[in-house]
Structure 1
Amino acid sequence: MGKRGRKPMKIDSNTQLEKSRESARQCRRRKKLRYEYLEELVIDREKAITKLHEELRRLRSVCQQIDQHEITNEIRQELIQWIDDAEINNQTQ
């Protein structure tokens, strides 16, 4: 009995070299796309982190004013908005 599977094709060295070059081009193209995707992901995450830092700073300020018994109408409105936002987020999850 003979060997199973495909029989090896006879390919000249120029054809093999061109296939190798094309394969390398495709690999570089995929790698570039992967890095572009990851860079976009990092940018989006950095924006989200910045937004969360701003919210944290704002809430710390509100907490300090509450601790000092300086609750203004502006702070009341902000707290109401914050509670409303939290309720909306909980309902959508």
Structure 2
Amino acid sequence: MGKRGRKPMKIDSDTQLEKSRESARQCRRRKKLRYEYLEELVADREKAIAKLHEELQRLRSICQHIDQQGVTSDIHQELKQWMEDPEVINQAQ
């Protein structure tokens, strides 16, 4: 019984070399796109982390103020603005 499947085509070495080069180019292109995507992802995450650090610092200062002076009208107003902030509302959901 003979082998099943396709019979291998006889390809000259120049054609095989060109196919190999094209495959390598495509591989490098995909790799570049993958790294660009990951770099964008990291940059977005770093921005989000920076915003969260700012928010944390803001809340810490409010807490320190409350500990020292109690809830003043300024702090009450700041907390009200913070609770109405769309980014805070989106993060809570």
* Map of 2:64 onto structure 1: 64
* Map of 1:79 onto structure 2: 79
Q: Report sequence identity in percent.
A: 80
Q: Deviations over 1:53-88 (max 9, x none)?
A: 000000000000000125333321111123334884
For structure 2, the 5+ residue unaligned runs are none
Letter matched to residue 55 of structure 2:
E
Three-state SS of the structure 1 residue aligned to 2:7 is coil
TM-score by length of 1: 0.87
Work out which structure has the larger RCO, using CA pairs closer than 8 Å and 6 or more positions apart in sequence.
1
TM-score by length of 2: 0.87
* Map of 2:42 onto structure 1: 42
The aligned length equals 91
Structure 1 CA distance for aligned equivalents of residues 34 and 17 of structure 2: 26
For structure 1, the 5+ residue unaligned runs are none
Structure 2 CA distance for aligned equivalents of residues 81 and 2 of structure 1: 80
RMSD: 1.9
Distance 1:41 1:53, change over 3 A: same
Structure 2 CA distance for aligned equivalents of residues 22 and 76 of structure 1: 65
